[in-house]
Amino acid sequence: MIDDDRRDANRILSAALDDPKTVSKTELDRAVGLLDSDAKRVRLGAAWGFGLVAEAVPEKAIPYISRIAAEVDSSDPHAAAARALAYIAQSNPEAVERELRTLEEPAARRCRKAMWGQFADRAVVETPDDRDGPTGASMGRADGDRWGWVGGG
């Protein structure tokens, strides 16, 4: 099984490095599964693959945010799923936050904490959004806790 995981991760990561636009939906579906592999390099390669795809063609990575978020475990902030979310957020933080807003609050909080650690409850980033008006809106759910997005990008 680990050999299959390694082979698949190498193929997906190689495609993402060569031309992220060519990574297929089937390969991204497989990459989600690889985020939970027993092999650390496989997990990290799958996470990095999502980052490469998100940078080049964000519309391909965004649909996977909720599936990746479901794999986030707050007890391990360095887990591959948290890394994959953080990589996608580097390219498109607004899309990640929009997707997190659709989750139940405990799941969204777990994802933010896994991605941003101690900073997650201390800052809120204002981002303009067509539906929020010209002044923007705090990222995070207004009816939730004090959490907001913090990070690079």
| pLDDT at 133 > cutoff 80 | no
Backbone angles phi, psi at 144, to 5 degrees: -95, -155
Least confident of 40-49, 64-73, 75-84: 75-84
pLDDT of residue 73: 77
pLDDT of residue 113: 84
Query: What is the C-alpha to C-alpha distance for residues 33 and 38, in angstroms, rounded to an integer?
Result: 11
Please, what is the average pLDDT of the chain? 81
Q: Label residue 109 by pLDDT band (50, 70, 90).
A: confident
Question: pLDDT for 1-19, tens place per residue?
Answer: 689 999 999 999 999 999 9
* pTM for the whole structure: 0.75
Q: Label residue 120 by pLDDT band (50, 70, 90).
A: low
Q: Which residue's entry shows tokens 């475990």? A: 73
State the virtual CA torsion across 84, 26, 38, 69 in degrees, nearest 10: 40
